[in-house]
Each structure stands twice: as structure tokens, then as C-alpha cells.
């Protein structure tokens, strides 16, 4: 899933080669490049051109860009194509003039204010190679964008460009190898059926919610007796593995709730009947659900020294309790409200699970070749999203990687399977929207575009792109809703 906000927002900027209004992410994180634009300047020179200034300056020029092009498309494997693009020498001369005007604002020419020096003088000062490099940075992406629009292609990754000819007085010729959106065969998608499960709320679930509210408002009182199930112990705890490794930093005092269902299995049973001043050692296995994978299933010796036994006193569940927590008059009305809320949550969770099953069924039926470039981009999006969430918690991505013992490559690899699934779902839903001839509510679309534009403070060319991406997202959401209707047999 690739919402445009992830492509455009800080701390990353969307840059690189792309078709009109199509972003190919190029992000750098902590000095590590996530992607780049590849250039081959003929049979001799080869270099990687930084993508630092391409997209922002190029976007505004597409409406008045190159018009006369000869474009030949050759299909390749893995949803890639090879484009041979030829622009006439006249177009190059116009681009050279624009380039010299740009360069004139960056160089000092004696006797002239910045941007006012004659083009010929600017060219003599900077030299043809600098002009040529400026054309590669500023003009050639525009030619590429015009070329893919001319042949109605939709690139999904950065192209690998080979420049065959870029000299004054001659046509400009280059080839670009790029991944494009694949063709998707949906198969007999109308036959997809996925059985929905009935959702019920057990009385025990309601009891659990009510007990939780009682516990939250309870108080602890020290008692002079052996511990019972449901009491709380203040005790020094030492957990030692067979190899001598101490868990949780060694011996420290903890409050152990003997009524906590998430305690290590067997722990409460070993502590019941202990009184203040008692000590007890016993062996248990570390649960398979423990946070540290390396300790799961290992035997550990628990040494417990009880300082105090505390009894939990809770309020009775009566009409006053019901009114205080839910604003209703009776306990029965309270239980009905708890049931309603649990049912609402359970239905939402079941809908999410059901939608996942439906999407997987549509993907399994479809025939397509998922471009690796799209998967790479989705992996990048997921990492950007993670970095944003970490930033909200005051944590940097590099510190997170250090804490978890991962490298950026490890993180990308771990996200790749989910990314591939997300991309496949998006491609299938886009194809379904087209097959079903779905439409969007134009008023809702424009309202969303206006909201995004206010946050982005973008110019008109950006607005066109935002509207295009938003329309695609709306259509995709409509297709997802339609897929659920089909899977339910609703026509």
C-alpha cells in the first residue's frame, strides 16, 4: 500500500526519474542509499547521477515540455521494457538555451548581474561539459517523462538510462530500461467465495471486562496470613538460567499479582500459601511467548523472598458501579452496553480478517508478474513509516536497529514478504476497479485533494499529481469493497 503522503513527506523527499506525476522513491537513511538513478553515458563513461535536484524542478515543466519524440518500446522479461528515445536537434537547442539561463544565475560574469550575461559568454565560461551535465540533470528527465506519456506507459521504478548521443547539432538519443505496471489477469473473479464467520460475545468476556474495571478501582491492604490466589505479593525475585545467566537484571523487588492470567505458567501455584518472611525456590520453564527469543523454553530457577502479602479489595458490582462507569441505571444495562461494545470490536476484527482472506483469494486466482521495483518501493515505504512512528516515540531508526541487532538490509529483508503481498493486492484491486468500471465520488475526491493541498502547500503541477494519486487510492478502496461484496455472493 503506497499512499502519496509517504512519498512526499519529511524526513525523506521523493526524487528521481518517473513518468508524469509518478514518483520513484529515492531515500537516504543515515548515510545509506536506498535507491538511485543509473546513467550510462555511452560506451565509455559510466556514473551514478545523484537524484538530489531532479523531481522538484522537473514537475513544473511537463506541461510545456518536449513534444516531438520518436519512441520505440521493446518488451523485456519481469514486467520491464526498453525504450529508445530520440529528440530532434532543435529541441536540444531550446534546452541548451534554458540550461545556459539557469547556469548564468550561478556563475559570476564580470560586468553583468547574475542571470543577465549573454548565453555565449556563459557557455565559454562554464564549458560544454557543465552544460551537458546540467541537461542530464534538468532536461533529460523531462524528455523521459514525455516519452513514457507518449506511449502510455506507467513506470514503477527508476530507469537505467544509456545516453547514446547528446551533442549540439545532432538528435539526442538514449535508451531507458524501466519496470512498468504488469498486466493482471483476474481469472474468473466473480466465482470467488469466502465464508464469513458468525461473531458472538460470551458471558465470560463480559465478566472479564467488569472484573477488570473492579480491579482498576481496587485497593491493596496488607494482611497477616498466607497468600491466596488473587492476592498480591511484594517479594524479592531472582531468576537464574541453568548457565548462570540472571534475567531481569538480577534480584529485585517486584509486586506479583497472583490473579494475573499472564504470569509465567506455574508461578502462582508455587507462591500460594507463602507468608511474609517466607523464602521459596523452584524451577519453571520460560514461556514460549517470552519477549527474548533466546530464553524461550529454557529452564530457570526462581528464588522468591516474600516481604508482604496484600489482599485486593474491590467495589461491589451494583447499580452505582454501573452508573459511574457507563452512565446507565442498572447492572443489567451495564452488561448490555459492555456486550454491545465487545460485539462492535469483534465484528470489526472479524471484518479485517475476512477482508484479508478475500484479498488473498483474489490474488491467488489472478495471474501476474509482480515487478521487483514495486516491491522495493513498498519495502522502502514500510521503513519510512516505521521511522516516522519511532520518531514520534523519540527514537531514531539507527538506534532501533542497534537495539534489535539488525542492519538496514536485515530490516528490508524482513519486510519483503509482506511488501510483496501488499503490492500484489494493490495490483489486483486496481485491475478489479477497471474490470468493474468503478467510479469515485468527485465531491469527496476534491475535498480530500483540498485537504492534502493545504498540508502540502503545493503548486498547481503538484495538485494534478495529488488528484491523480488520490483518485487511484479512492478507486482502490472501492475495489476492495467490491471484492468483499463478490466474496459474500452479493452480486
224, 308: one domain: yes
CATH number of domain containing 251: 3.10.50.40
Domains held by the chain: number: 3
Q: Give the pLDDT of residue 261.
A: 81
* Half-sphere exposure of residue 361: CA atoms within 13 angstroms, side-chain side: 20
Contacts of 426 (CB under 8 A, 6+ apart): 1, 2, 476
- Per the listing, cell 547521477 goes with 49
Low-confidence ranges of the chain (pLDDT < 70): 1-67, 109, 111, 113-117, 248-250, 457-461
Query: Is residue 305 included in any domain, yes or no?
Result: yes
Cα gap 238→278, rounded to integer Å = 14
Percentages (nearest 5) of helix, strand, coil residues in the chain:
45, 20, 35
347 and 483 share a domain?
yes
| Burial (CB count within 10 angstroms: exposed 0-12, middle 13-18, buried 19+), residue 234 | middle
Is residue 212 one of the residues assigned to a domain?
no
232 occurs within a structural domain: yes
Closest Cα partner for 231 from 314, 307, 312?
312
CATH number for the domain that contains residue 430? 1.10.3120
Q: What is the pLDDT of residue 26?
A: 30
Q: Work out the angle between the directed axes of helices 140-150 and 128-138 (0-180°, nearest 10).
A: 40
373 and 439 together in one domain = yes
Residues 303 and 281 sit within 8 Å (Cβ to Cβ): yes
pLDDT for 250: 59
**Enclosing domain of residue 50:** 8-179
Please state, in angstroms and rounded to a whole number, the distance separating the CA atoms of residues 80 and 372: 10
Kindly state the cell numbers that stand for 192: 470467488
- Which CATH number do you get for residue 103? 3.30.70.1050
> 260 and 223: one domain?
yes
Last-in-domain residue among 313, 332, 350:
313
Same domain, 27 and 144: yes
Q: Are residues 371 and 236 in the same domain?
A: no
| One domain, residues 114 and 21 | yes
Each residue's pLDDT tens digit, 392-438: 989 899 998 988 888 999 999 999 999 999 999 999 999 999 999 99
The residue among 163, 182, 181, 152 whose CA lies nearest residue 73 is 152
Give the pLDDT confidence score for residue 295 in this predicted structure: 81
Same domain (yes/no): 25, 131: yes
85: nearest Cα among 11, 189, 157, 162: 162
Q: How far apart are CA 9 and CA 116, in angstroms?
A: 36
pLDDT of residue 167: 87
Write the pLDDT tens digit of every residue in 103-130: 787 777 676 766 666 777 777 777 788 8
Q: Nearest to residue 408, comparing CAs of 19, 29, 9, 1?
A: 29
The distance from CA 469 to its chain's CA centroid, rounded to whole angstroms, is 16
* Helix, coil or strand: residue 490: coil
The separation between the first and the last C-alpha atoms of the chain, rounded to the nearest angstrom, is 26
Residue 146 is assigned to a structural domain of this protein: yes
- How many residues are listed for the chain in this entry? 491
Which of 364, 414, 365, 381 is CA-nearest to residue 156? Answer: 381
Q: Please report whether residue 20 resides in a domain.
A: yes
282 and 427: one domain? no
Amino acid at each position: 500500500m503506497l499512499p502519496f503522503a509517504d512519498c512526499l513527506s519529511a524526513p525523506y523527499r521523493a526524487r528521481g526519474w518517473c513518468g508524469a506525476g509518478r514518483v520513484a522513491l529515492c531515500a537516504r537513511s543515515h548515510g545509506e542509499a536506498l535507491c538511485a538513478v543509473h546513467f550510462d553515458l555511452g560506451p565509455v563513461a559510466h556514473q551514478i547521477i545523484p537524484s538530489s535536484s531532479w523531481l522538484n524542478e522537473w514537475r513544473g515543466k511537463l506541461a510545456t515540455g518536449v513534444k516531438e519524440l520518436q519512441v520505440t518500446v521493446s518488451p523485456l522479461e519481469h514486467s520491464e521494457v526498453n525504450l529508445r528515445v530520440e529528440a530532434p536537434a532543435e529541441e536540444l537547442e531550446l534546452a541548451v538555451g534554458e540550461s545556459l539561463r539557469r547556469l548564468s544565475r550561478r556563475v559570476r560574469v564580470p560586468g553583468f548581474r547574475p542571470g543577465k550575461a549573454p548565453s555565449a559568454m556563459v557557455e565559454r565560461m562554464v564549458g560544454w561539459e557543465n552544460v551537458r551535465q546540467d541537461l542530464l540533470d534538468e532536461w533529460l528527465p523531462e524528455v523521459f517523462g514525455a516519452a513514457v506519456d507518449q506511449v502510455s506507459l506507467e513506470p514503477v521504478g527508476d530507469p537505467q538510462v544509456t545516453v547514446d548521443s547528446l551533442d549540439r547539432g545532432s538528435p539526442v538519443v538514449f535508451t531507458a530500461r524501466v519496470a512498468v505496471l504488469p498486466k493482471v489477469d483476474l481469472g474468473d473473479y466473480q466465482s470467488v467465495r469466502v465464508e464469513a464467520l458468525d461473531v458472538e460475545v460470551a458471558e465470560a468476556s463480559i465478566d472479564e471486562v467488569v472484573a477488570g474495571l473492579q480491579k482498576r478501582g481496587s485497593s491493596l491492604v496488607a494482611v497477616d496470613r498466607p497468600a491466596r490466589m488473587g492476592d498480591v505479593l511484594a517479594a524479592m525475585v531472582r531468576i537464574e538460567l541453568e548457565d548462570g545467566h540472571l534475567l531481569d537484571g538480577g534480584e529485585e523487588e517486584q509486586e506479583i499479582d497472583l490473579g494475573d492470567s499472564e504470569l509465567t505458567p506455574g508461578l502462582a501455584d508455587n507462591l500460594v500459601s507463602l507468608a511474609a518472611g517466607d523464602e521459596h525456590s523452584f524451577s519453571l520453564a520460560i514461556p514460549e511467548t517470552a519477549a527474548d527469543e533466546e530464553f524461550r523454553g529454557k529452564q530457570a530457577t526462581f528464588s522468591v523472598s516474600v516481604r508482604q502479602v496484600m489482599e485486593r479489595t474491590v467495589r461491589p458490582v451494583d447499580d452505582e458501579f454501573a452508573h459511574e462507569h457507563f452512565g446507565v441505571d442498572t447492572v443489567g444495562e451495564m452488561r448490555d452496553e459492555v456486550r454491545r461494545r465487545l460485539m462492535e470490536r469483534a465484528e470489526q476484527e472479524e471484518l479485517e480478517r475476512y477482508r484479508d482472506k478475500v484479498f488473498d483469494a483474489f490474488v491467488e486466482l489472478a495471474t501476474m508478474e509482480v515487478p521487483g521495483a514495486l516491491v522495493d518501493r513498498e519495502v522502502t515505504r514500510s521503513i519510512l513509516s516505521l521511522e516516522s512512528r519511532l520518531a514520534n516515540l523519540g527514537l531514531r531508526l539507527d538506534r532501533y536497529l542497534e537495539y534489535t541487532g539488525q542492519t538496514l538490509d536485515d530490516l528490508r529483508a524482513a519486510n519483503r514478504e509482506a511488501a510483496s503481498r501488499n503490492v500484489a493486492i494493490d495490483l489486483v484491486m486496481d485491475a478489479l476497479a477497471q474490470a468493474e468500471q468503478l467510479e469515485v465520488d468527485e465531491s469527496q475526491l476534491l475535498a480530500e485533494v483540498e485537504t492534502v493541498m493545504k498540508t502540502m502547500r503545493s503548486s498547481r503541477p503538484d495538485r494534478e499529481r495529488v488528484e491523480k494519486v488520490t483518485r487511484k487510492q479512492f478507486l482502490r478502496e472501492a475495489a476492495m469493497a467490491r471484492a468483499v461484496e463478490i466474496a459474500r455472493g452479493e452480486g
